[in-house]
Amino acid sequence: MFCSRRPGLLLSTMRTLDKLGLDIQQAVISCLSCFALDIFRAEQCKQGQDVHPDQVKAALLESAGYHGVA
């Protein structure tokens, strides 16, 4: 994947999801004029770590370079 504004975007996205303790079972990644990642199935793989959707959203925005955007 190549993004002229953010080289390594796919790798940083997957690392962020891994750091949250999520195991991505199935995903569709679309790249046109913007980046889109649609996760169809993700499971928590670390015991005792609850991850809420808002945490995932904030972490992904941060990794994509949108600091402080909700």
- Enumerate the β-bridge partners of residue 29: 37
Cβ atoms of residues 32 and 1 within 8 Å = no
Q: Does a structural domain hold residue 56?
A: yes
How large a percentage of the chain has pLDDT more than 90? Answer: 1
Can you read off the two tokens belonging to residue 56? 């995932």
Structure confidence by residue, pLDDT tens digits, 23-56: 888 777 766 666 666 666 777 776 667 888 899 8
Q: Does a structural domain hold residue 2?
A: no
What is the number of domains present in the chain?
Answer: 1
The runs of H, that is alpha helices, within 1-70 are: 9-19, 53-63
Q: Does a structural domain hold residue 21?
A: yes
Predicted model pTM: 0.67
